[in-house]
Every structure is written in C-alpha cells, then in structure tokens.
Structure 1
Amino acid sequence: MGDRQKFTILRSIRRGGPHRVWAVSSIHGEAEALGRLHRELTGRLRYGDRLVYLGNLIGRGPAVAATVDALLRFRGLFMARPDTFACDVVHLRGSQEEMWQKLLQLQFATDPRAVLQWMLDQGVAATLESYGFSPTEGLREAAAGPRQLTRWTSALRQGIQDHPGHWQLLGGLRRAAYSPPPGQDQDAGPAGAPPSNAPWGLLFVNAGLDPNRPLEAQKDSFWWGSSGFSCLAAPYGGYRRVVRGFCPQHPGLELGEFTATVDAGCGFGGPLLAACFTEDGELVEQIEA
C-alpha cells in the first residue's frame, strides 16, 4: 500500500482568504445528528473550505447505512461548489472501520467466535444489523468452521455492495490527512512532515498517534493510540496542531497547545461536533448538532 492510499494531502488555496478545514467528530451511525450538522454546515461554508470526517463513521448508532448514504449525498453537494475537487473532502478510518475490515476476513482468525464477540461488544453489532445481518447468526457461523464462516462473510460483502456507493466509500478511507507545507501541493512528494523550522499546518487523525513514530509508521496507533496523543508536549513532526475525532472520555471540543480533540460522545448519548481550523491551527468556528 503506497502513501497515496494511506494519506490525503489537503490542497492549499490562497485565493479568497485563508485555507480553512472543517473537522467532523466520530459519528457512530447517528444519521439524524449528521443530517442536522450538514444543514448547519451548509450555511457556513466559505470558498476554499476543506472537509475531513475524523473516522468512526459507522458502529454503535441505530442508522449506520443511512449515515453512509448521508455522507455520500453531502460529498456530492460539497464537490458541486466552485473549484472543489474530490480530494477536498476526506473520510478517515477509525476503530469502527478497522474492526469492520477485520470482520470481513474473520475466517482467518485463530478464534473467530471470540474475536467476533469482542467486536460486537465494541459496537460492530449495530453495523451488522443496519446491513440486515444478525449478530447472533454471526456468532453461530463463527463456531461452525471456516467454510461456513467464509460463506457468511461473503454474504456480508454482498450486502454492503447492494447499497450503492457504500463499498467504495468504506474501501477508500484514509488513515490521516494533513495540510501541505507552504509552496507544496497535493502532487508534490510523498506523505510526511512539512520541512519547516516553525510549526505549521494541520494533521488530522482518528484517535491518536505514537509521538515516537513517523507518520508512515503509525499503523494501528491512528485508531488505538489515544494515550500517546495525550502525551504530545511539542509539535508532532512540525505540524502546528494534531486534530483527532475520538477520545474515550468524550471531552467535547478540547484545545491543547499542539492538539485538538473534537468528540462530545456522539454514539454514546452526546452531540455531534464539527470544528473549523485555519492552516496555522486557529479555531475559528464550531458546530454542535
């Protein structure tokens, strides 16, 4: 997997004002909250704005399939704006999407029933049910042997593909997105930190990262590295601010010197948040839905 498949470099744009990026917290299948946020966001968008969904699009909530439908519709509306391109709206992979990908390969697990039960406890049950599959049936198939389980995961893939655009969106998620350094656009060089002595730009992740690893070596730290995120006491890789969309404590909109958490517990009884940042890390707007 190349860097282009892992990361998105957000296009920098100067005409019409500073480059701004909207970051949307974990949605967790809460389609109604997402609809409210999209309606509010529509009236606040400016020329040149970018949009990043910070992962955990699915799982836990009651309307996962409807959430993906809403994401697809809004992406079309967002891209219809003047001088807007597909790379200007980014969907990150979160822990829910990572578990979902592992679920589709469950037949290769050493103890598939135990793995599935853990996933169900973490919120995957809601995604299964939204696509018309029973968690109880999944547990039964997981105990029936690899051949039977392979049939079940194949049916699950087909169930997703029966929803137009869902397979493509869930299969095209990025691990992180970042602002390019001054003078560099999305076509220049591999993913990496901006070559600047002063902190600059934004890095967007799902739950965290390991401060001791470079961006291309983070792997699972993006969705399981919340403890490392809280230890950031200096600019990571030269980025002015690292923005995440999930925190186990769901603190709301929380700004550190070099970090930002955007998570008020959507999917856990809290609202859905969006925050807008300039390229230098300044928070300029926020939405709660």
Structure 2
Amino acid sequence: MPPFLHPIEDPADPRIEAYLDIRERDLKGRGGRFVVEGEVVLQTALKLGRFAIESILIGENRVVPLADLLAGVPTSIPIYVATRAVLDRIAGFPMHRGILAIGLRGEPASPESLLAGMPENALVVGLSGIANHDNIGGIFRNCAAFGVDGVLIDAASCDPLYRKAIRVSAGATLVTPFAQGGDIAMLCDALLAHGFEVLATSPAGRETLHDVAPRKRQAVLFGAEGPGLPGGILSRLRSLRLDMRGGFDSLNVATTSGIVLHHLAR
C-alpha cells in the first residue's frame, strides 16, 4: 500500500470518527462538516469545489482504480483505507461505492454578501420551501449546467450540503455559490435592491416562458411542488408559466428549473 495511505482496521479508530453511523448523523447534523460520497463528487470537490476536504476514506478495493485521483490529493489531506467489512461497519450500512470524504462548511455566505459579489451580468435562482433533497440536487445540477451565478435558499428549504443532495447534484452544490437563510420575501427584497429583475414561476403565471427575454441582471424563483410560491410573492412580481398539454398544469420543480434556466441562460 502506498505510504500516503493510512490503513484502518478498527471501526472505533478515532481518526475516522467523523464517518461513523452516516445515516444517523445525516438526520442529526454534523455541525461544520458534511459528507461527500462517490468518485464523481469527490473528483469535483477536489478540483472545483469551494469547500475544503478534511479527509478521505475509501475501500481497499478502490485503491487501484482511483490511483490517479489519489496521487493528486494534497498531502495535507489524510487518505484512510479500510476493508469492505470494516468500511460497512464504520458507515453503518453497505458502502457499495466505497468512497467517502469529509468536507468543511467554513463560514456560510449571507444573501447580501453573495449578491454584492455578483458580476454586472448575472443569473440567480431563488428557492422557497424546497424540502426534497432530490429536487435540491437536481436544481443545483441544472444551475451548474446553465451557468447560474448563485442560488439563494430560504430557511424552509433543505440543506444543499446534505449527502444525498450533493450526490444527486453530481457535486454541483459544491461548485455553485449559494446562501441560505430568511424567507423568500426577504430574499426577493435583496434581489430587487441589487438591481435584479425577479421572475416568479407558477402554473398560474400570467405570462408564458416564451414571453420573457433574458436580461443583464435576472433572478427566477421556484417554490415547492404543491404549495408553490407564496401568493404575496406572485402578486408583486412578473410571473411565468410553462404551457402544457394533456391536462397537466405542472412539472417536477427540478425539471421546471432546467427548462426555465435553459431559456434564460446567457
């Protein structure tokens, strides 16, 4: 085994304490840490991510396939290796991917600081009450694909650094800048104060997507499936809809975000 790899034989080894009982800690929270899972996400985190990686834990059967990736890891980041049996005991469930890492959240950005650093031409997404981690991950993946400059998330939405959200986003939550806190009305006020045209999406939107042209500073808000955006937000903003056939009036919010962002992307 290469000398930069540190074997772990005991699940109680204090060096890998942050990896214990992953699913239970997903629910309880990890304070200033989060979990990265899978090769694609780890590669993104190391090469493009905005967050520091504290350590890496892999199954010994992944050492050879990941040799090139591991060789490029800075020496300041310890890489721990365990057998499949030990790795499963550490995680608390079968680790089929066999690749984990611990990231550090650092100091969270505020909506104000995020907007203050925006370029003159900017596209921003605002999220209200998005409580499903698959949807958060899918939206962030679309944001990365279409060059969104930042995402504002209200306090009622789930954490984009939750393990499943990161995985579904293919690492995009580690790349696209975001700030979370407050309610959607506060985030809307901040966007307007920074010169953004703010659009609200709704099945009952007064205009269709094709009526909307991209502008230099533009933001688009998405609400949770079902309740959608608050009525007060819809009444004060330019609202848009996607026209559909077959009696359907809405799509999955992540799917909707992909269509809207493709249209607005500059």
TM normalised by structure 1 equals 0.29
Larger Rg: 2
TM normalised by structure 2 equals 0.30
* More relative contact order, 1 or 2 (CA 8 Å, 6+ apart): 1
Per residue, is there more strand in 1 or in 2? 2
